[in-house]
Structure 1
């Protein structure tokens, strides 16, 4: 029995590795834009739907394993924001969010056989009033291009986050408390997956 991560996110993998788990990495191939366009409901339900689609996309190939799907988006000014993908979009996002408070929503879907555990965690992020030069340098680094909300907490982006309220691992991409609750609901112990 292994933990299978339905994601290519280096941050999600890092969380598991640092927590003593060597996951199988099996990125899910889902059309996130189509799923979001078709989804009606709360922002929290939208990220949960993305996580659920990712977990189910790889679960059939891993019977008997614990499969984790996850997705994160930033809720700011009542709008969900995903990855910026480019330097220009990153600069624009940071000019919008500098000095503001937002919610980083991370949807989780954890599967074990026929059992499913779905939960979205919300963490409040207080963005610094970063200088134009720092915003430009951060965007040029490429680091935030593939990150929800155009930032990381655990690397260069940490310079520009004044504080968070909530689960730090969730902001990085995968909540260990949510994963623990899922494993317990399946009758499994977290330590069973430690190397």
Structure 2
């Protein structure tokens, strides 16, 4: 959920342009989100972005059938984060790295909402959200893809956590909603809003980690790294 605008290809191109003799970052981000990339960069964390080729709808449908019922919003966010992390961890390019997958799902009145994609859906979402409070769930899944040989320090850890943040919205007018949706900003965002762009004008309060609303909680990452016997300082660039 971000207005930061380099394409995923540009992000990877910049990383690939580093010297071939330069040591690759320990962290691999299994996401094409510029917002998540910016959070890590702003936190001084070195990383490489590798986009997962995951069909989100198919992953949710398969889990729903297997479990015999609908997933709640937090479980859905964690499932998608895990699916992305494990897909990237299976790639040769992620060997020797610690892989982080993330995904966000917005919940309002117990109903899960992903990306609206179309203006019509985004407008309907905003008319339902205005003047109210919902919860943005961001799933994080970490896979320690390092060798478990003593010299490499791998632990084989694979686990996740969800950071959930309440978001309160202003009672915005139809004209404001339509103008906001016309910018295109909310269309690729879970819940049809951002807090780090034009959408910030329509948000009256946040209860929780604001980074989780953008798409990645550095504090949650710090806690997950402990399971892999790593410190967040090990990732500082």
Query: What TM-score, normalized by structure 2, do the two folds share?
Result: 0.79
Q: Structure 1 segments of 4 or more deviating over 6 A? A: none
Query: 2:85 is matched with which residue?
Result: 55
Unaligned runs of 5+ in 2: 1-24, 65-70, 146-155
Q: 1:63-142 counterparts in 2 under 5 A? A: 63-113=95-145, 114-142=156-184
Query: 2:214 is matched with which residue?
Result: 172
Partner of 2:186, secondary structure, is helix
Query: 1:25 is matched with which residue?
Result: 49
Query: 1:13 is matched with which residue?
Result: 37
8 Å Cα contact 1:39/1:46 also seen in 2: no
1:191 aligns to 2:215 (yes or no): no
Identify which range, 86-95 or 101-110, moves more after superposition: 86-95
Q: 1:42 aligns with which of 72, 77, 82?
A: 72
CA distance in structure 1 between the aligned counterparts of 2:234 and 2:163, rounded to whole angstroms: 24
CA distance in structure 2 between the aligned counterparts of 1:102 and 1:158, rounded to whole angstroms: 15
Partner of 1:64, secondary structure, is coil
CA distance in structure 1 between the aligned counterparts of 2:88 and 2:162, rounded to whole angstroms: 20
8 Å Cα contact 2:138/2:216 also seen in 1: yes
8 Å Cα contact 2:74/2:105 also seen in 1: no
CA distance in structure 1 between the aligned counterparts of 2:228 and 2:78, rounded to whole angstroms: 19
Identify which range, 30-39 or 161-170, moves more after superposition: 30-39
Give the superposition deviation at 1:96. Answer: 1.0
The structure whose residues are more often strand, as a share, is: 1
Unaligned runs of 5+ in 1: none
Partner of 1:143, secondary structure, is coil
Aligned residue pairs total: 195
CA RMSD, 1 decimal: 1.2
- Structure (1 or 2) with the larger CA radius of gyration: 2
